[in-house]
Amino acid sequence: MVEKEEEEDFQSLHDIKLATFLNGLIVKKRGKKEGEQPKPEKTLTNNLILRKLKIALNLKDEDLIQILKLAELNVSAHEISAFFRNPSQPQYRPCKDQILRNFLHGMQLKYRID
């Protein structure tokens, strides 16, 4: 799961396994919701991954902007909010791989314990 694609031990991670992990991370960090627990999605988008990480880590839009700045990527609050809109809205924007990759890199920089 953590190997680079060019590494010999690399194995791809299916969406349902990643969704299960992210749902578990939300429960671990935020606690269980009452009622039925969410089922893992069979297909994930970058927008959904970003949303689940935002929920799990209790991040605000300003936190996302700061994390992306750590990865030397400047985005506006309007761009961030567009990632979390309903896809049917005209303001919705898909989260590109570059944004998610930089967000994950920024998280490494922010939360790394040496």
Q: 51-98 pLDDT, tens per residue?
A: 999 999 999 999 999 999 999 999 999 999 999 999 999 999 999 999
Domain boundaries, the chain: 15-111
Tokens 């005209």 correspond to: 90
Q: What is the tens place of the pLDDT at every residue in 11-26?
A: 777 889 999 999 999 9
The reported pTM is 0.85
Amino acid at site 89: Q
Query: Strand locations in the chain, DSSP E?
Result: none
